[in-house]
Amino acid sequence: MSPELRQGLKYLIGGMMVLISIIPFYVLLYLAMNTPAGSMFKGLFLLPDFYFTNFVDAWNGSKLGRAMLNSTIITCLAVTLIVFVASAAGYSIARYRSRLNLTIFNTLLACMMIPAIIITVPLYSLMKSIDGINTYWAMILLTAANALPLSVFLYASFIRTLPKEVEESAVLDGCTYFTAFYRVTFHFLRPVTSAVVILTGLGIWNNYGQAVFFLQSQEMRTIPLAISMFFQTYGAKWNLMAAAALIGLAPAVLVFLLFQRYFIKGITAGALKG
């Protein structure tokens, strides 16, 4: 094969990969900007009508504003909780080998294999008995708990790669190992913290399996719930459905595009240290 042909083939394959991944998004964009009256698809190459009223109608009809607020509150607070609880746990596990810490770590690791759906039923009765249904705090605690195994694992394996001198010099200066963690070590954890924030934040933002049970009232709905509700009511109006879906997926896409570097680093760091 000549080098030119080779190069051309490379571009062809790369282009195909991009097309396969991007076409559904383009179809969505096209539908979302279609006038309600226009027939669905025209021609092979889709040119949208640029009818932006859909977005306004979808936003109002689906109460996406409220849903976005709910999703933001739950995701941000849960992720904050995860970072504090998991980094502390990871530090203790990585630096202090005791039977207690080893048991905790192995328990968490084993539970990484258990999808959350397994415990839905007993969790429901627990949530009922603590009055946690339709509340932010219970949903935050619940989603944070679900994300702990992965987060503790990421923190512990990252802290193991840091030299002990990091906190030992602080201890010589009069810190305890506990205070040294917050004064010194924590600041070295930025790479793994960004990975944890992104990975767990995204999972909680997209959570549907738990939200559908524990956030049933309309005011508490998160984005996936609001979108699925909207789809069930507006089934025939594709332009509005597409606009709602587009608004619903936009925040995750934006965050991904802005923090792409951390995403890829975080996922690979998390994956390959195992």
| Residues 6-25 contacting another protein, CB under 8 A | 10-11, 13-14, 17-18, 20-22, 24-25
Residue type, 126: L
Check residue 115 for interaction with another protein (CB under 8 A). Answer: yes
Alpha helices in the chain (DSSP H): 3-32, 53-62, 64-95, 99-111, 120-129, 136-161, 165-172, 177-183, 190-205, 211-214, 223-233, 238-258, 260-272
Q: Is 123 in the site for another protein (CB under 8 A)?
A: yes
Q: How many CB atoms lie within 10 A of CB 9?
A: 11
- The whole-angstrom separation of Cα 116 and Cα 146 is 7
For residue 27, give the amino acid letter: V
Q: Which is nearer to another protein, 36 or 115 (CB)?
A: 115
Of the residues 35, 38, 41, 160, which one makes contact with another protein according to CB under 8 A: 41
Instruction: In whole angstroms, give the CA distance from residue 218 to residue 66.
Output: 9
Site for another protein in 181-240 (CB under 8 A): 181, 202, 205-206, 208-209, 223-224, 227-228, 231, 238
CB 71 to another protein: min, Å: 10
CA distances from 83 to 89, 173, 203, 228 (A): 10, 26, 14, 30
Q: How far is the CB of 131 from another protein (least distance, A)?
A: 14
By the 8 A CB rule, do 154 and 196 touch?
A: yes
The residues, any chain, with a CB within 8 Å of residue 27's CB and separated by 6 or more, are 46
Question: Is residue 243 a contact residue for another protein (CB under 8 A)?
Answer: no
Distance CA 85, CA 193 (A): 12
| Interaction between residue 92 and another protein (CB under 8 A) | yes
- Alpha-carbon gap, residue 203 to 212, rounded angstroms: 15
φ and ψ of 48, to 5 deg: -70, 165
Count of residues near another protein by CB under 8 A: 90
Binding mask 131-160 for another protein (x = CB under 8 A): ----------xx-xxx-xx--x--------
The reply on whether position 1 binds another protein by CB under 8 A is no
Q: Between 20 and 47, name the residue whose CB sits nearer to another protein.
A: 20
Min dist. Cβ of residue 178 to another protein (A): 4
Asked if 166 is part of the footprint of another protein (rule: CB under 8 A), the reply reads: no
* Minimum separation from the CB atom of position 239 to another protein (A): 10
* Interacting positions 52-81 with another protein (CB under 8 A): none
Using an 8 Å Cβ cutoff, are 220 and 206 in contact?
Answer: no
Residue closer to another protein (CB basis): 117 or 172: 117
96 is a contact residue toward another protein (CB under 8 A): yes
* Token representation of residue 248: 């619903």
From the list 47-55, 57-65, 188-196, 243-251, the region that binds another protein by CB under 8 A is 243-251
**Residue from 5, 37, 40, 47 in contact with another protein (CB under 8 A):** 40
When asked if residue 258 is in the footprint of another protein (CB under 8 A), the reply is no
Q: Which helix (H) or strand (E) holds 97?
A: none
